[in-house]
């Protein structure tokens, strides 16, 4: 099916986009996006203040060991450390900024470098930005050093990352009012919407941007839109946006391809995921670390363990040190596979995960894995972890796997203890648990304990059924308890169950 997307008007696009989130409809066509709106515009260029131009020389590479660039960056790094250290005290933060106001206000480059270094602390970055934004300066400085578009972009980004969407919108409008709205300003607000899962507003702003004669969508703009569609699993629209970008002769970068791969992984489109990866391997844009991490995830989910291991070998050190979630995904892939060495590989990966980094779903998965493999000791260790963290097992299939393991190892005492703890902890209690106990007591000819299991079943509101009576019949038959055999046969007749063929042979 040809993937395409057609809207009759810009307004209709926004309306249709809102419907897509709920219905995930399959669009039919998209008109080729013309480049007319690109050709009739000129990029908005800002005139940098003379003082900033004078400072450019300070940020050029020098052959000396201590360049002005290094010196300033070191000073800014020290300032960042001091701000981070006092981040919880807004009064102290303001005092530090005031003390360094001469450099921060007079130099856009210095202020931008500080904001860049605060990327990982968006709330603090926003506080620093607002200090600069609200600080009173002399009329002379206000004319020469008013905040520029790049600073507003950083502020909008920081507001979005700190979940202050209304502040991000306010800063965007303020930049527009001050005449410093450019492409990066749009991109920053679109990114803020994307980060806060406001896909409709993000796409609506993209439509507004294409109408704005002063700004032209960039590769970053299209990357955001592609990412949004990929997250919403609207693959037709993601591909249509990629096609539009190519028609505008905007060259894709590694982020573009990574977002495409991510979109295909989210919709389990493994062939398309692989095609994009092969394009990267053979084209001018090379895969990066993020690409390899995505491909490991994709191969793990698709069960392609050979390729998963191949890519994993390329970034093994990074994954082992930093990607615990990805390691868990690989473990899950091995658990679902028939790889002859899967247990060895799983054990090796488990050693990389810190003990305190507990995940209930993984614990339950390991319980089933060890039960299937018949590893009683490892299974019990995983069961104890589940009890310790209050993780209940609610699947009858897994409970039956656990019971089978105890039965195969003839571990009646351990089974008794497990049944007691499982019932107390709210695990899925099923008849199979008690039937297994009855069979094991019967095999030991411990008929009294077998009879007591009936009371345990009654305590948890589990009634006797045909299988219960058959187990008891077999046990009493082997122990030559004729009275009890007849009693059980009577109950079978009463309940309308089938009577064993050998019941009256002797």
Please state, in angstroms and rounded to a whole number, the distance separating the CA atoms of residues 254 and 263.
Answer: 14
- Output 444 or 204, whichever has higher pLDDT: 204
Token pair 């507004």 in the structure block, residue: 208
Least confident of 257-271, 290-304, 340-354, 458-472: 458-472
Residue 430 near residue 400 (C-beta atoms within 8 A): yes
Single pTM value for the model: 0.78
Each residue's pLDDT tens digit, 20-52: 555 444 443 443 333 333 333 333 333 333 333
- Output 32 or 144, whichever has higher pLDDT: 144
Confidence band, pLDDT 50/70/90 cuts, at residue 502: low
Average the pLDDT over 92-99 and give the result: 92
Residue 68: what pLDDT?
55
Residue partners of 153: CB distance under 8 A and separation at least 6: 182, 184, 185, 187, 188
Please state, in angstroms and rounded to a whole number, the distance separating the CA atoms of residues 442 and 452.
Answer: 12
Residue 136: what pLDDT?
58
Distances (CA, A) of 217 to 27, 70, 191, 356: 24, 34, 13, 45
């Amino acid at each position: 099916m040809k993937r395409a997307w057609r809207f009759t008007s810009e307004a209709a696009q926004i309306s249709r986009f809102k419907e897509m989130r709920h219905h995930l409809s399959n669009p039919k066509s998209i008109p080729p996006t013309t480049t007319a709106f690109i050709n009739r515009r000129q990029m908005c260029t800002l005139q940098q203040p003379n003082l900033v131009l004078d400072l450019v020389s300070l940020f050029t590479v020098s052959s000396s060991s201590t360049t002005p660039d290094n010196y300033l960056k070191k000073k800014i790094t020290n300032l960042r450390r001091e701000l981070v250290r006092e981040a919880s005290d807004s009064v102290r933060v303001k005092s530090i900024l005031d003390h360094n106001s001469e450099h921060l206000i007079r130099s856009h480059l210095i202020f931008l470098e500080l904001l860049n270094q605060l990327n990982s602390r968006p709330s603090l970055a926003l506080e620093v930005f607002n200090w600069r934004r609200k600080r009173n300066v002399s009329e002379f400085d206000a004319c020469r050093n008013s905040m520029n578009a790049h600073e507003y972009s950083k502020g909008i980004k920081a507001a979005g990352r700190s979940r202050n969407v209304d502040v991000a919108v306010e800063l965007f409008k303020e930049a527009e009012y001050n005449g410093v709205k450019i492409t990066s300003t749009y991109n920053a607000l679109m990114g803020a919407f994307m980060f806060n899962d406001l896909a409709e507003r993000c796409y609506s702003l993209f439509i507004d941007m294409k109408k704005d004669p002063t700004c032209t969508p960039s590769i970053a703009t299209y990357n955001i839109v592609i990412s949004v569609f990929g997250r919403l699993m609207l693959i037709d629209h993601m591909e249509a946006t990629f096609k539009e970008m190519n028609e505008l002769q905007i060259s894709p970068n590694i982020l573009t391809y990574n977002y495409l791969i991510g979109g295909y992984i989210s919709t389990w489109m493994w062939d398309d995921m692989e095609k994009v990866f092969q394009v990267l391997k053979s084209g001018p844009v090379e895969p990066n670390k993020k690409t390899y991490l995505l491909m490991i995830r994709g191969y793990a989910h698709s069960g392609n363990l050979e390729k998963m291991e191949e890519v994993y070998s390329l970034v093994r050190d990074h994954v082992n040190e930093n990607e615990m979630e990805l390691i868990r995904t690989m473990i899950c892939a091995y658990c679902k596979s028939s790889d002859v060495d899967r247990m060895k590989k799983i054990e090796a990966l488990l050693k990389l995960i810190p003990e305190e980094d507990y995940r209930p779903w993984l614990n339950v998965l390991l319980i089933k894995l060890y039960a299937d493999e018949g590893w009683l000791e490892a299974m019990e260790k995983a069961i104890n972890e589940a009890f310790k963290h209050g993780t209940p097992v609610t699947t009858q299939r897994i409970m039956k796997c656990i019971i089978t393991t105890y039965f195969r190892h003839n571990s009646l005492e351990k089974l008794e203890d497990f049944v007691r703890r499982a019932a107390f902890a709210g695990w899925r209690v099923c008849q199979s648990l008690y039937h297994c106990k009855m069979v094991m007591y019967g095999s030991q000819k411990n008929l009294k304990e077998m009879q007591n299991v009936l009371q345990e079943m009654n305590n948890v509101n589990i009634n006797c059924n045909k299988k219960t009576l058959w187990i008891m019949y077999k046990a009493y038959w082997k122990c030559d308890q004729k009275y009890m055999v007849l009693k059980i046969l009577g109950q079978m007749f009463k309940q309308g169950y089938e009577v064993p063929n050998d019941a009256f042979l002797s």
